[in-house]
Every structure is written in C-alpha cells, then in structure tokens.
Amino acid sequence: MSEVYKVIFTGQLRPDADKERVIVLFSEKFKLGRERAEKLVHSGRPLSLKKDLDREKARKYQEALEKLGLIIEIDPKLPAAETAPEASSPASGLTLEAFDHGDEDATEVLDPSQVPGDRCPKCGSGNMEMGICQDCGIVAVKYLAAQERHAESAARMETEQTEQTEEEDPYTTPEAELVQPLEDEMDGPRGVPAGHGLAWVAKGWWHFKQAPIAWIAALIVWGVVSFIVSMVPLLGFIAANVLTPVMIAGLMIGCSEQDQGEEFSVNHLFAGFSNNAGQAMLVGLFYLLMIVLVGVSLMAFMFGSIGQIMSQETANPEAMAMMLFSPTFIIGLIVGSLLFLPIIMAYLFAPALVALEELSAWEAMKLSFMGCLKNLMPLTVYSLVSVGLVVVGSIPFGLGLLIVFPILTGAVYSAYRDIYYG
C-alpha cells in the first residue's frame, strides 16, 4: 500500500506575505468567505487542510498554497529535493477549488420557520429542536446548504477536468478537491465519559503552573475591579454582574493562547473587551435577569409562609424552627435549586463561546446549556472535586483560593475544548 500524506497549514505566514492580502486571496481562491478565511489565517495554530493524498498531489497542494503566502508542511515530511519550490509567481494567478465545510457550523440558532423538516438530514433522528439535532448536534439548514455546495463543487470540478489540456499546468489546482473539513473546527457539543471531569481539573492545574504569578495577580486585579465597580450606588451590582463574563472571556482567551504555546499575562483579564465584548455583556445581563426572576418568585413563595407564622405570635425559637422545617420552605429550597441549575448550565461555557467562537449571547447560552445537558456526569465529578478544592483552599485564611480559582477557571476552558472540539 502506497504511503499517504497530510497537508498542514502551520499557522504561520511567509515572512514577505501581507496578512490582509493573504486573507483576501485565500477567501477568493477557496470561496471560504472573508470571515472563514480570516479565522483560519489568524488561528496561529496548525490546521490540517487535506488528508490521504499521494506524494505528488501533496507536493502540488503545498506549492499552490504557499503561493498564497501560507507556510505549509507535509506529514510525513517529503525528502528535501521534493518539497515545493520557492513561489515565484503571484498568488493571484492561482485557481483553487473551494473547501466544503460539511456540517461544522452546528451552532446557529435558527428560526423554527427555517427548519426544512422534523428529522435530522444527517443521522435521521427525530429529536430536533429549533432546527438543531439534539443527537448529533448539526444544524439542518446549514448541513443541507453544505451538501448543496459540495454537489456544486463536485460538478464544477468535473467540468474543469474535462476541459484540461493533456499537458498539466503546474499552477492549476490538483485533481482532488479540498473537501476535507478543517481540523480544530468546533463540531460539538458531544458527551464525554465521567472521568473527564477529573481530567479537566488536572488540565486546569497545568494552565496555572505555567504562569502562577500572573494567574494570581489577574485574580487579585479582578477582585479589586469588581469591588470598586460594586461600590457605585444603585448600578454597581448590575455593572459587576454584566462585566463578569467579559473578564471570564478574557481568561478563556488566555487559556487558549497558553494551549498555543503563548504566555499567560494579567493583560488577558481584559482581553475579552476586544473580543465580542457586547455579546459577553449580554450574557451577564441575561444571567442576572434570570437569577432575579427566579429569586423573586421563590421569595414570594417562601416568605409567604413566614408572614403567616409571624402574624400568629411574636417570633420565637419554636416559630422559627417551624418555619425552617415547614413543607413550604423545604419545597421552595428544592424548587429553587432545580430552577437555578439550568441557569448555571446556560452560563458556564457562554463566555468562552462568545469570545472564542464569536457567537451571539443567546446562541452561546443555548449551546452552553446543551453541552452541560450532555455531560451531567463529568460535570458532577468536576463539581464535587471543585467543592473539595474550595474547602481545602479556604482553610488557611482563604489564601489557598488564589490557587484554586485559577485552576477551576482553566478546568472550565479544558471542559469547553473537550466537549465542543473533542
């Protein structure tokens, strides 16, 4: 069996390449759309563009892509004599086929009127909600559109092949289409084993120990900023809650850059203000409104019983005990816990999804809820470990929390990567 090769974009551009020009050329030649091309060029990490090529086609892909300004590697490496030559002609002379992205855009919340049917076009499941398959996670309309693009691309490629001259132009597209979906593209949420909850915490420790001083300093700065903001009369409490997901988003960006080999710094705490900050603030606002709504409803339910007890006689220990163990109070606590849990699930991964995936606040919160719903067991393990760490960290005057909270923050990022990327 002949050896097969993979074409990999290293995440770097040629020294003489203009990034803006590369984005424009890449968008035009591969018909990605500017947003997709920009995301790939700015990724800063290796991405697999094509798999299962023979040696000659891999070499041609490398040569064609490097003419656009990208630095391309072939895995396994070709002998030095066979690597692509230095690009001598402008990238604008190339005519490359389009990527077919399949169903990776499985995060858009659709209007129900746009849903083509009540069954998933990919897996056939009838478990559809708002156009999103709850079993395999794809968006029906996006999946069907991708299938249509793929068919059009295949037809176009077939037409071009029939018009080719017998002598192949070295600057034309290789025979095969670039139909392999890009690696490191979000294709979740997916369910993972319960043991991953412990692995997330271990990865959180890895993030912390790479830059412990910077993480502790960022946590202290965050605490000081939150305290100052909360001191503002009337609006301080609201502002603190609205700004919190922006700060969390910045820490998620810091974790992402650590994964790429970059250093974490205190500045990452504020990186969320330059990455979809408006939607991150909306996450905080939605979260606050839901908490207030549930809280007020529970207080009205539970304190009604207190009023009845207090109205009978003056408050005394027996009356207070009766109130605390009354069915109304206990039911209120249980219902409150059940109602607050979905809100926390919708909030947990929303800052990361807003900042790193550029989703809207509502899309991010819905996708966060779906991710948590599919991973109740590993999240339970994570929660139990987190509670244990918080208790231990609180013993020496709470100083241990300066270590625990960064670890748990890194663990949330690790869970996000595990659930939404696999």
pLDDT band at 135, cuts 50/70/90? low
Domain presence at residue 177: no
Calculate mean pLDDT across residues 58-75.
82
Q: Are residues 202 and 340 in the same domain?
A: yes
Bridge partners (DSSP) of residue 72 are 9
Higher pLDDT, 166 or 49: 49
Domain boundary among 49, 67, 99: 99
The DSSP-derived string for 115-136 is ---SS-TTT--S-EETTEETTT
Tens-place pLDDT, residues 156-179:
665 565 555 444 444 444 443 443
Domain presence at residue 178: no
Residue 328 is predicted with a pLDDT of 62
Calculate mean pLDDT across residues 42-59.
78
Q: Is the pLDDT of residue 200 over 60?
A: yes
Q: Are residues 241 and 361 in the same domain?
A: yes
Asked whether the CA dihedral 263, 344, 374, 276 is positive or negative, the reply is negative
Tens-place pLDDT, residues 174-193:
443 443 444 456 777 889 99
Contacts of 188 (CB under 8 A, 6+ apart): 106, 137, 371, 419, 420, 421, 422
Listed ranges 19-33, 135-149, 343-357; the one with the highest mean pLDDT:
343-357
Residue 267 is predicted with a pLDDT of 93
CATH code at 51? Answer: 3.30.1390.10
pLDDT band at 56, cuts 50/70/90? confident
Q: Which domain holds residue 73?
A: 1-99
Least confident residue range of 8-17, 236-245, 252-261, 274-283: 8-17
Least confident residue range of 69-83, 138-152, 391-405: 138-152
Residue 102 is predicted with a pLDDT of 39
Q: Is the pLDDT of residue 355 over 80?
A: yes
Q: Are residues 300 and 334 in the same domain?
A: yes
Catalogue the long-range contacts made by 205-211 (C-beta closer than 8 Å, 24 or more residues apart): 205/407, 205/410, 206/410, 207/255, 207/258, 207/264, 207/406, 207/407, 207/409, 207/410, 207/413, 207/414, 208/403, 208/406, 208/407, 208/410, 210/258, 210/263, 210/264, 211/258, 211/263, 211/264, 211/265
pLDDT band at 293, cuts 50/70/90? confident
Tokens 């205190």: give the residue: 266
Domain presence at residue 133: yes
Q: Across all residues in the chain, what is the average pLDDT?
A: 75
Domain presence at residue 182: no
Least confident residue range of 60-74, 179-193, 269-283: 179-193
Asked if 405 and 386 touch (Cβ cutoff 8 Å), the reply is: no
Q: Are residues 106 and 23 in the same domain?
A: no
Q: Are residues 241 and 225 in the same domain?
A: yes
Q: Are residues 306 and 220 in the same domain?
A: yes
Give the percent of the chain with pLDDT over 90: 34
Residue 13 is predicted with a pLDDT of 86
Q: How many domains does the chain have?
A: 3
Domain presence at residue 155: yes
* CA-wise closest residue to 134 among 345, 373, 314, 341: 373
Q: Judging by beta carbons within 10 Å of its beta carbon (0-12, 13-18, 19+), is residue 340 exposed, middle or buried?
A: middle
Q: Are residues 392 and 404 in the same domain?
A: yes
Q: Is the pLDDT of residue 149 over 60?
A: yes
Calculate mean pLDDT across residues 135-145.
63
Q: Are residues 234 and 125 in the same domain?
A: no
Q: Are residues 81 and 216 in the same domain?
A: no
Q: Is the pLDDT of residue 206 over 50?
A: yes
Calculate mean pLDDT across residues 3-10.
81
Residue 314 is predicted with a pLDDT of 45
Residue 118 is predicted with a pLDDT of 61
Whether pTM exceeds 0.75: no
Give the percent of the chain with pLDDT over 70: 65
pLDDT band at 318, cuts 50/70/90? low
Cα 93 to Cα 101: distance, rounded to the nearest angstrom = 24
Asked if 120 and 135 touch (Cβ cutoff 8 Å), the reply is: yes
pLDDT band at 55, cuts 50/70/90? confident
Domain boundary among 40, 65, 99: 99
Domain presence at residue 85: yes
Residue 155 is predicted with a pLDDT of 61
pLDDT band at 67, cuts 50/70/90? confident
Q: Are residues 211 and 355 in the same domain?
A: yes
Q: Are residues 311 and 400 in the same domain?
A: yes
Domain boundary among 46, 65, 99: 99
Q: Are residues 306 and 372 in the same domain?
A: yes
Domain presence at residue 131: yes
- For 12, list phi and psi in degrees, rounded to 5: -115, 155
Domain presence at residue 244: yes
pLDDT band at 137, cuts 50/70/90? low
